[in-house]
Every structure is written in C-alpha cells, then in structure tokens.
Amino acid sequence: MTKKKKHHDHRLGLGIDIGGSGIKGAPVDLDKGKLADDRLRIPTPQPSTPEAVAEVVGQILDHFEWDGPFGCTFPAVVQHGVTQTAANVDPSWIGCNAQDLLRGKTGRKALLVNDADAAGVAEVEFGAAKGHRGTVLVSTLGTGIGSALVIGGRLVPNTELGHLELDGHDAESRAADSAREREDLSWEDWGARLTRYFQHVENLLWPDLIVVGGGVSKKFARWQPYVETRTPIVPAELLNEAGIIGAALLAGAES
Ligand code: BGC
C-alpha cells in the first residue's frame, strides 16, 4: 500500500497509536475518517524504551505493507518530533527525538503527535465536534488526562491540561479514570471530581464545547448526570479509533 493510493476513490493514510499497554495501527480512509482495514494491536514491550517501541511500529507498517508516510501518537508532550515529558511512560523518552528515531528505524517518514491532540483533530474533523468552528476542548480520561484545544479548526498542540494543579494535586491524579478505579469511586463521587476539574478548565478557556474521550466515554450516561458545567459536554464518537485516525490525518496533511 502506498501513500494516498486511491481506494474506492478515497485517499489512504496510516495511523499508529502508542499506548501504555498496546500499540495499535491501521490504514485510514482520510476522506471518510474511518479505518480502511482491521486494526492490528501488539502489546507494548516492557520496558517501553524508544527503540523497543519503534521496532513494534515497524512490524505494524510491515504487516500492512505500508511504505508511505505515517502518523503516530504518543502519550506525552511532542514538540517538533521530540518527546519532552513522560508522565505515564518510560523516562528514557524525555528529550529523545522520537520522530527521527521512528524514521530511522522504520525507513518511512513519521509524524509524531501527542495522543490527545490526535484524538482531538479526529473528533473535530469527523466525530462529535465535526465542523465546529469555535473553541473545542477534547479531554481524554484514561490513565492520565489528555487535552486537545482546537480553535476554529486549528489545533493548539500540547496544552497538557491534565497536569493543571488543582487543590494542591496534579489534576489527573484526582480526576482521571485511573483515579476512579484506584480509589473505587462511585460515579457520583467521580462526577464531583470531574465537576471541579472541568469548572476550573472552563474558567480558564471558556470553550464552546467539551468532548470527552477515553474508554469511559462509552459509559457517558452513567457519570454525565453528576457533572455540572456551563459548557455543553458530549461523548467522543470515534472512541478508541480517534488516535489512529487523527495521526493519519495529520501525517496526510503534512506530506
Ligand atoms: C500526558 C499527556 C497525555 C495524557 C493522556 C498525560 O499524563 O502528560 O501528554 O496526552 O496523559 O495520555
């Protein structure tokens, strides 16, 4: 498969989502914002060093016989290809030019992007905030809290709003889905934490819409009644495919 090969007259890209437990990838129909093939998931190697992860990324590209440019997400700050933080990943990523490493290891042109940023782009392009021209905040609730700020269709990268300090804590340590699980919080108690978090964020940014992603967005109806915000909150629509789709879109737009 080569870059932008016509497939039923649609442009194709390839996206890979690097997570703490799995690395997932698939070809993406860039016109429809849908996976063009079944996705492949390979467990994240442990320790998840840049070299070991790049190896798995190469296996995914080989599996789909993909030779063109590809997009790849990473759950940390990615500034011009350099991974700058490592809140929930191996510390050896800090300061690594992971984008160059991926290019070197796989022999294909890589675009590396923060995971929430990729999901945010996908949700605004094809999902819950499709076509929105205002200020959209996409918040992913998982092990950490990811954030994507998209204004008038343009992404402001690496906003990292999961690490706002709130009541003396790193916000994600209190309000991420992992905090709910770790502390065995009821939906109501977790909803109160989310209220505190989202009210803080909306007072900073005054978004027009908040889109909530991450696995727990599937259970939106369970916790949404306990979250009070002035901003409308909706669940993400692309769910666990948003990262793959967004990464492929961003790589397709760059190449
Ligand atoms: C990281 C972000 C990431 C989020 C979701 C946070 O801990 O700092 O870069 O987007 O987790 O994975």
**Cα dihedral 161→166→171→175 (10° resolution):** -120
- Protein residue whose Cα sits closest to atom 7 of ligand 1: 144
Residues 215 and 190 in one domain: yes
Please report, as a single letter, which amino acid is at residue 153: G
DSSP for 229-245, written as a single string: -SS-EEE-SSGGGHHHH
Residue 168 lies in a domain: yes
For residue 196, count other CB atoms closer than 10 A to its CB.
17
Residue 1 has pLDDT above 60, yes or no: no
Residue 120 lies in a domain: no
- Protein residue whose Cα sits closest to atom 9 of ligand 1: 76
- Protein residue whose Cα sits closest to atom 8 of ligand 1: 76
* Mean pLDDT of the region 54-71: 98
Query: In b/e form, how buried is each residue of 90-126, taking b as 16+ CB within 10 angstroms?
Result: beebeebebbebbbebbebbbbbbbbbbbbbbbbbbb
Distance 8 CA to ligand 1 centre (A): 36
Q: How many CA atoms lie within 13 A of 62 on its CB side?
A: 10
Cβ–ligand 1 distance for 179 under 6 Å, the answer: no
Cβ–ligand 1 distance for 87 under 6 Å, the answer: yes
Residue 141 lies in a domain: yes
Alpha helices, H only, the chain: 50-63, 98-106, 115-126, 171-175, 177-182, 187-205, 220-223, 242-254
| Averaged pLDDT score across all residues of the chain | 95
Best substitution site from 89, 113, 172 to test ligand 1's pocket, by max atoms within 8 Å of Cβ?
172
Pairing of the two strands 145-151 and 154-156: antiparallel
Query: Structure tokens of 47?
Result: 């320790």
* Mean pLDDT of the region 125-141: 97
Q: In this prediction, what percent of the chain has a pLDDT beyond 90?
A: 93
* Mean pLDDT of the region 27-31: 98
Residues 136 and 106 in one domain: no
Residue 251 lies in a domain: no
- Protein residue whose Cα sits closest to atom 5 of ligand 1: 146
* Mean pLDDT of the region 209-221: 96
Task: For residue 115, give the ligand 1 atom closest to its CA.
Answer: 10
Residues 150 and 110 in one domain: no
Q: Which of 207, 178, 203 minimizes the C-alpha distance to 193?
A: 178
Cβ–ligand 1 distance for 213 under 6 Å, the answer: no
- Protein residue whose Cα sits closest to atom 4 of ligand 1: 146
Residue 5 has pLDDT above 60, yes or no: no
Task: For residue 88, give the ligand 1 atom closest to its CA.
Answer: 7
Cβ–ligand 1 distance for 116 under 6 Å, the answer: yes
Task: For residue 117, give the ligand 1 atom closest to its CA.
Answer: 10
Best substitution site from 18, 145, 197 to test ligand 1's pocket, by max atoms within 8 Å of Cβ?
145
CATH (domain of 94) = 3.30.420.40
Distance 190 CA to ligand 1 centre (A): 19
Residue 123 lies in a domain: no
Cα dihedral sign, 79-149-110-105: positive
| Domain count for the chain | 2
Identify whether 225 is preceded by a cis peptide bond (ω within 30 of 0): no
Containing structural domain, residue 144: 128-237
Residues 10 and 92 in one domain: yes
The packing angle between helices 242-254 and 115-126, to 10°, is: 90
Residues 144 and 70 in one domain: no
Cβ atoms 60, 5 nearer than 8 A: no
Cβ atoms 143, 86 nearer than 8 A: no
pLDDT band at 8 (very low <50, low <70, confident <90, very high): low
Residue 53 lies in a domain: yes
Residue 80 lies in a domain: yes
Residue 35 lies in a domain: yes
What pLDDT does residue 9 have?
Answer: 78
CA pair distance 13, 244, nearest whole angstrom:
10
* Mean pLDDT of the region 58-87: 97
DSSP label of 24: E
- Protein residue whose Cα sits closest to atom 1 of ligand 1: 76
The answer to whether the pTM exceeds 0.85 is yes
